[in-house]
């Protein structure tokens, strides 16, 4: 495995829940940034939820209180619990990781996701009314 692999996407009614999972390419270094990003058709990619090696999490304003990011170091996986899904959550969701510094999460919060070194192929989430 040389890149993250996402799973758990699908179709769900508004107000429902989904849990996305990501198998990471390798164990984390002492310092790292892990995150979920999404891209809706015709729109730019945006950070959804991030977690760094200090345990600091951050969320896009649009998902605060609804999404939760978590890491399972034993399984080397990253998850995103998505509750109370809304139509605007429809997008392709990507798992990404960077190693060596938690600074990558700092810049990702500002919208500069090009610093993330590893990207999955994405999993589709479709929310219907």
β-bridge partners, 126: 11
Q: Which two tokens stand for residue 95?
A: 């798992």
User: What DSSP element (H or E) covers 103?
Assistant: helix 103-109
What are the residue ranges in the chain where pLDDT is below 70?
28
pLDDT of residue 2: 84
CA dihedral 112→115→118→120, nearest 10 degrees, is 10
pLDDT at 101: 86
The CA–CA distances, whole Å, from 75 to 8, 22, 61, 116 equal 16, 10, 29, 21
- What pLDDT is recorded for position 30? 83
For residue 114, the model assigns a pLDDT of: 86
């Amino acid at each position: 495995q040389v890149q993250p692999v996402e799973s758990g996407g699908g179709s769900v009614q508004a107000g429902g829940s989904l849990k996305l999972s990501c198998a990471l390419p390798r164990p984390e270094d002492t310092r790292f940034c892990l995150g979920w990003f999404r891209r809706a058709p015709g729109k730019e990619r945006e950070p959804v939820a991030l977690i760094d090696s200090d345990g600091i999490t951050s969320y896009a304003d649009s998902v605060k209180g609804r999404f939760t990011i978590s890491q399972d170091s034993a399984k080397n996986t990253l998850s995103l619990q998505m509750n109370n899904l809304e139509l605007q959550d429809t997008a392709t969701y990507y798992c990404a990781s960077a190693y060596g510094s938690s600074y990558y999460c700092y810049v990702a919060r500002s919208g500069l996701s090009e610093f993330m070194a590893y990207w999955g192929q994405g999993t589709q989430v479709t929310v219907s009314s």
